[in-house]
Amino acid sequence: MTVYVDPLSFRGWRIRGREVANCHLFTDQVDLSELHALASAIGMHREWFQDARSAPHYDLTPTRRAAALAAGAVAVDFRHAVRIWRARRALLACPGGVGASSSHQSRGAMARAGHGAEETRP
Protein backbone atom coordinates (compact mmCIF):
# COMPACT_ATOMS: atom_id res chain seq x y z
CA MET A 1 0.00 0.00 0.00
CA THR A 2 1.11 3.53 -0.65
CA VAL A 3 0.06 6.74 1.05
CA TYR A 4 0.17 9.89 -1.08
CA VAL A 5 0.07 13.67 -0.75
CA ASP A 6 -1.05 16.00 -3.51
CA PRO A 7 0.38 19.51 -4.01
CA LEU A 8 -0.30 22.34 -1.61
CA SER A 9 -2.84 24.87 -2.87
CA PHE A 10 -4.99 27.63 -1.48
CA ARG A 11 -8.57 26.40 -1.01
CA GLY A 12 -9.82 29.12 1.29
CA TRP A 13 -8.44 27.75 4.58
CA ARG A 14 -7.91 30.44 7.20
CA ILE A 15 -5.96 29.89 10.41
CA ARG A 16 -5.73 32.77 12.88
CA GLY A 17 -7.06 35.11 10.21
CA ARG A 18 -4.58 34.31 7.44
CA GLU A 19 -4.96 32.13 4.38
CA VAL A 20 -3.08 28.83 4.58
CA ALA A 21 -2.23 26.37 1.81
CA ASN A 22 -3.38 22.80 2.31
CA CYS A 23 -3.34 19.41 0.61
CA HIS A 24 -4.63 15.86 1.02
CA LEU A 25 -3.15 12.69 2.54
CA PHE A 26 -4.77 9.66 0.88
CA THR A 27 -4.25 6.07 -0.27
CA ASP A 28 -4.93 3.89 -3.29
CA GLN A 29 -6.26 1.02 -1.18
CA VAL A 30 -9.67 -0.04 0.11
CA ASP A 31 -8.07 -0.91 3.46
CA LEU A 32 -7.33 2.40 5.18
CA SER A 33 -5.21 1.07 8.05
CA GLU A 34 -1.86 2.29 6.68
CA LEU A 35 -3.35 5.71 5.90
CA HIS A 36 -4.57 6.03 9.48
CA ALA A 37 -1.25 4.77 10.85
CA LEU A 38 0.77 7.34 8.90
CA ALA A 39 -1.69 10.09 9.84
CA SER A 40 -1.35 9.15 13.51
CA ALA A 41 2.44 9.09 13.21
CA ILE A 42 2.44 12.73 12.06
CA GLY A 43 0.07 13.86 14.82
CA MET A 44 -3.27 13.80 13.01
CA HIS A 45 -6.38 12.94 15.02
CA ARG A 46 -8.74 10.27 13.67
CA GLU A 47 -11.70 12.64 13.93
CA TRP A 48 -10.02 14.85 11.31
CA PHE A 49 -10.37 12.06 8.75
CA GLN A 50 -12.61 12.99 5.80
CA ASP A 51 -14.57 9.80 5.11
CA ALA A 52 -15.58 10.47 1.50
CA ARG A 53 -16.22 7.04 -0.06
CA SER A 54 -14.53 7.86 -3.35
CA ALA A 55 -11.59 9.78 -1.89
CA PRO A 56 -11.14 9.30 1.85
CA HIS A 57 -8.40 11.61 3.08
CA TYR A 58 -6.92 13.86 5.73
CA ASP A 59 -6.42 17.57 5.03
CA LEU A 60 -2.86 18.71 5.73
CA THR A 61 -1.16 22.03 6.38
CA PRO A 62 2.31 22.64 4.87
CA THR A 63 4.00 21.50 8.11
CA ARG A 64 2.01 18.25 8.25
CA ARG A 65 2.65 17.65 4.53
CA ALA A 66 6.41 17.88 5.17
CA ALA A 67 6.02 15.46 8.08
CA ALA A 68 4.02 13.04 5.91
CA LEU A 69 6.73 13.07 3.24
CA ALA A 70 9.40 12.47 5.87
CA ALA A 71 7.31 9.53 7.17
CA GLY A 72 7.17 7.92 3.72
CA ALA A 73 4.22 9.43 1.85
CA VAL A 74 4.71 9.85 -1.90
CA ALA A 75 4.12 13.25 -3.53
CA VAL A 76 2.00 13.23 -6.68
CA ASP A 77 0.67 16.00 -8.89
CA PHE A 78 -3.05 16.81 -9.15
CA ARG A 79 -3.63 14.73 -12.28
CA HIS A 80 -2.01 11.68 -10.75
CA ALA A 81 -4.07 12.15 -7.58
CA VAL A 82 -7.27 12.16 -9.65
CA ARG A 83 -6.17 8.97 -11.44
CA ILE A 84 -5.52 7.31 -8.07
CA TRP A 85 -8.95 8.32 -6.76
CA ARG A 86 -10.65 7.10 -9.96
CA ALA A 87 -8.83 3.76 -9.79
CA ARG A 88 -9.85 3.41 -6.14
CA ARG A 89 -13.48 4.09 -7.09
CA ALA A 90 -13.20 1.44 -9.82
CA LEU A 91 -11.77 -1.01 -7.30
CA LEU A 92 -14.71 -0.33 -4.97
CA ALA A 93 -17.16 -0.84 -7.85
CA CYS A 94 -15.69 -4.24 -8.84
CA PRO A 95 -17.50 -7.32 -7.56
CA GLY A 96 -15.57 -8.32 -4.48
CA GLY A 97 -13.76 -4.96 -4.52
CA VAL A 98 -15.21 -3.65 -1.27
CA GLY A 99 -13.05 -4.88 1.55
CA ALA A 100 -10.63 -6.53 -0.88
CA SER A 101 -7.14 -5.31 -0.27
CA SER A 102 -5.00 -7.82 -2.07
CA SER A 103 -2.03 -6.29 -3.78
CA HIS A 104 -2.99 -8.14 -6.97
CA GLN A 105 -6.33 -6.32 -7.22
CA SER A 106 -4.91 -2.94 -6.33
CA ARG A 107 -1.91 -3.30 -8.67
CA GLY A 108 -4.25 -4.07 -11.56
CA ALA A 109 -6.51 -1.11 -10.84
CA MET A 110 -3.53 1.19 -10.35
CA ALA A 111 -1.84 -0.04 -13.56
CA ARG A 112 -4.99 0.85 -15.47
CA ALA A 113 -4.81 4.32 -13.92
CA GLY A 114 -1.18 4.84 -14.99
CA HIS A 115 0.10 4.53 -11.42
CA GLY A 116 3.74 5.34 -10.90
CA ALA A 117 4.12 7.45 -14.02
CA GLU A 118 4.50 10.82 -12.34
CA GLU A 119 5.62 10.27 -8.76
CA THR A 120 7.77 13.08 -7.45
CA ARG A 121 9.52 13.85 -4.23
CA PRO A 122 10.23 17.49 -3.44
* 117 in a structural domain: no
Q: Are 29 and 106 in contact (CB under 8 A)?
A: yes
Over 50: is that where the pLDDT of 111 sits? no
Alpha carbon dihedral 73, 79, 85, 87, in 10-degree steps, equals -110
57 pLDDT band, cuts 50/70/90, is very high
* 122 in a structural domain: no
Count how many domains the chain has: 1
* 121 in a structural domain: no
User: What gap in Å lies between CA 106 and CA 2, rounded to an integer?
Assistant: 11
Per-residue confidence (pLDDT) for residue 108, from 0 to 100: 42
* 119 in a structural domain: no
* 32 in a structural domain: yes
Encoded amino acid at 63, one letter: T
Containing structural domain, residue 17: 3-112
Percent of the residues in the chain that have a pLDDT greater than 90, as a whole number: 51
- 97 vs 66, which has greater pLDDT? 66
Per-residue confidence (pLDDT) for residue 54, from 0 to 100: 73
* 89 in a structural domain: yes
Given 3-state DSSP classes, what are the helix, strand and coil percentages for the chain, each rounded to the nearest 5? Answer: 40, 20, 45
Per-residue confidence (pLDDT) for residue 1, from 0 to 100: 65
* 120 in a structural domain: no
